Amino acid sequence: MIQTIRGFRDILPGDTPLWQAIEQTASRLFEDFGFKEIRLPLIEQTELFARSIGEVTDIVEKEMYTFPDRKGENITLRPEATASVVRSYIQHKMYAADPIQRLYTMGPMFRRERPQKGRYRQFYQINAEVFGIAAPHIDGELILMLNELFGRLGLTDLTTHLNSLGCPECRPLFHRALTEFLRSKHGGLCSDCTRRMDKNPLRTLDCKVPGCREAMLDAPTTLDHLCSECSDHFDKVKEILTRQEVDFQVDKTLVRGLDYYSRTAFEVQTTALGAQSAVAGGGRYDALVRELDGPEVPAIGFAIGLDRLAGVMEQLQEPVKTRELDLFVIPLGPGALDQAYYCCSRLNLAGIRCDTDYSGKSLKGLMKRADKLNAGHVLILDMRKSDNKESATGAVLRNMKTREQTTLSMQAPDMQVPYDEIIKILTDKGMPRD
């Protein structure tokens, strides 16, 4: 039996209503804030991620799905979405029409990580990106929007962890201080941190090896080395969040896993399941547009881990129910099957969720089928022979909850189902129409 590849999974029909609810809630909220959806390819040139994410990162060094195409050019399944959004912003010269763009996207990403609970090699993200606004107010707006989204989804006990990573003016001072500190701890660091020490010292702060985490407890922090502009920017972000009553805490150890971040970095965590669980993260990447051969345009964005968010919600809430079947049509006798088919087609087009059965089972068997499908009503089309003639002996509409029955007259000349009457009965009783 062929099965899914390790680290990949199917999201089954029983799970998709929750995913759809999250996506629809996010779309409505984002669009209220002026965002527009962008849809991006799954495959990009490898160079895009190497230049944006950083060559000395776990993603580029170990986790990307990269392979040569038929022309020998290296292409990569996207490991994250921000670089692709920036590439599209530059390629299509969106900045020429208006440098300020608010864009969001949803879809799968790919990283060859070790599969474990809640982490998959094909995972899903919801991203929001803003271009062209340098003011700290947009930092506060995105964090506010994130917290509002999670509130609408019913998540509680949320805290935004906040840090500033500095800018090209002040970060070199921090890098020097951190590099000197790392050299003093050389013997207690893992091989990855030892290798990163000179090339990308900031990445050592994100190491998950227990020995490295302990060694880094008294490491220098970015906040101790901010220039006046970065410090003022960070203070304003904190002021905005405080005035809007967004719960946050300054986390000097917070760094993002990608090289392009600068200044504001944030992560939204929930303790709803006991331990802290990050459900979203993001920050500024003011230099990335220029570094990818675009103009000097500031930018900021975030990504929501949809797999983890859905997992948290599954444990906290009642399952999202699929809309039940409005009507199940039971055909009895020759000719009734055609009528049942046309009836279902007509009513489905009218927004009434309708189905039938083509197996030729008995009335008893089909009533059991209607019960199994949780149908709100059944329509019994009885076209069995009477007195050696084919005659429509009637159509009965039955409410499966109240057991109330309504006898309907089949319409001449070809004894059609009275669609309009059925629609009126069902919609008058508050049946959903979507």
* pLDDT tens, position by position, 42-84: 999 999 998 887 765 667 777 898 999 999 999 999 999 999 9
Q: Which residues pair with 124 in a beta bridge?
A: 108
**pLDDT (0 to 100) of residue 423:** 84
Domain boundaries, the chain: 16-170+226-316, 327-428
pLDDT band at 204 (very low <50, low <70, confident <90, very high): confident
Nearest CA-CA partner of 167 in 286, 293, 86, 292: 286
**pLDDT (0 to 100) of residue 224:** 87
Nearest CA-CA partner of 258 in 203, 199, 220: 203
Is the pLDDT confidence value at 390 over 80?
no
Nearest CA-CA partner of 35 in 138, 135, 125: 138
pLDDT band at 202 (very low <50, low <70, confident <90, very high): confident
Instruction: Read off the pTM.
Output: 0.84
Q: How far is CA 30 from CA 20, 88, 235, 265, 361, in A?
A: 15, 19, 26, 20, 49
* pLDDT tens, position by position, 95-124: 999 999 999 999 999 998 887 777 899 999
16-170+226-316: which CATH architecture? 2-Layer Sandwich (3.30)
* pLDDT tens, position by position, 248-269: 999 988 887 666 788 999 999 8
Q: How far is CA 5 from the centre of its chain?
A: 22
Residue percentage of the chain with pLDDT more than 90: 51
In CATH, what number does 327-428 get? 3.40.50.800
